[in-house]
Amino acid sequence: MRRYAVFGSPIAHSLSPRIHTAFARQTGIALEYLAIEATRDTFPAILAASGVAGANITLPLKEVAFAHCRSVSARARRAGAVNTLTRTDAGWHGDNTDGAGLVRDLTERHGVDLRERRVLLLGAGGAARGVAPALLDAGIDALYVVNRNSARADALADALGDPARVHARGWDALPTLGEFDLLVNATSAGQTGTPLPPLPMALAAPRSVAVDLAYGRAAVPFTAWARAAGCAQALDGLGMLVEQAAESFQCWHGVRPDTDPVYADVRRLTDTQPVSD
């Protein structure tokens, strides 16, 4: 039985073991899937000692994992961050399934048309890097990357290599940016206990969709703001979590599981017992 795991900090309440165990049961694949605590400093040694055949990577390790890979996929290279590791004879191969997971959840589960949309991306860390390329590939019209550290926003915009559509701004520029069709919170504020900085209500319009890449309690401040601002949809990242997990599962096992029953299961769980990943 092969072993897989999700690495991050904090990680104790991760839903990834439940999701991958459900996928394995559905597809008849025998595996063990664990949640393993690791910080930036301890991650390389803990990964080496884990004996896993593959791994998912979450906060705050996605950029650390990228640097640890012997090879990476094209989408991981564009992101500069990795959320999926596969052990090979040559070393670790890195991929990033976050963007594909977000786009699939938005378009197929929630009916969001991303074409020609004006998008605000809050944050410029590993989570933001993972989803930005996929949003561009989905046909959005403009992507504004906003971060409290404007140099990190600039670095992400430069890495994306699409100056006609990608614009970097500091947090203080938010009141000047106008309305957005899609607002994506990719900051770690809710997951680390740091308050989300104030957001102008004028960023949202009646048809806007807002999504927090976190879920459970961590997503509450942003989704509450989105509802107060009048967004048509205020979503958390649970659907993205399930869809990116399915992408990882396919990378490892060559089969894509049915995500709908697994999403329904974890949605019921989070509705009655909020958790965070």
| 190 annotated to a ligand binding site | no
Residue ranges of the alpha helices (H) in 105-219? 126-137, 150-160, 189-192
Structural tokens at position 107: 């378009």
- Residue 16 assigned to a binding site: yes
Size of the chain in residues: 277
Q: Which residues contact 272 (CB under 8 A, 6 or more apart)?
A: none
Residue 113, annotated as binding a ligand: no
The set of catalytic residues is 62
Annotation-wise, does 159 bind a ligand? no
Whether 237 has a binding-site annotation, put simply, is yes
Is 15 annotated to bind a ligand? Reply is yes
Q: What are the phi and psi torsion angles at 101 (to 5°)?
A: -65, -45
3-state secondary structure of 85: strand
Backbone angles phi, psi at 230, to 5 degrees: 90, 20
254 is in an annotated binding site: no
Please give the structure tokens belonging to residue 15: 């839903």
**Crossing angle between the packed helical segments 259-272 and 16-27, to the nearest 10 degrees:** 150
83 known ligand binder: yes
Q: Are 219 and 190 spatial neighbours (Cβ–Cβ below 8 Å)? A: yes
5: annotated binding-site residue? no
Give the separation between CA 132 and CA 124, rounded to whole angstroms: 9
- Confirm whether residue 215 is marked as ligand binding: yes
The answer to whether the annotation marks 273 as part of a ligand binding site is no
Q: How far is 125 from 83, CA to CA, in rounded Å? A: 13
124 marked as part of a ligand binding site: yes
Cα–Cα dist 145/163, whole Å: 12
Q: Binding site for NADP(+): residue ranges?
A: 123-127, 213, 237
Q: Binding site: residue ranges?
A: 14-16, 58, 83, 98, 123-127, 213, 215, 237, 244
Q: Binding site for shikimate: residue ranges?
A: 14-16, 58, 83, 98, 215, 244
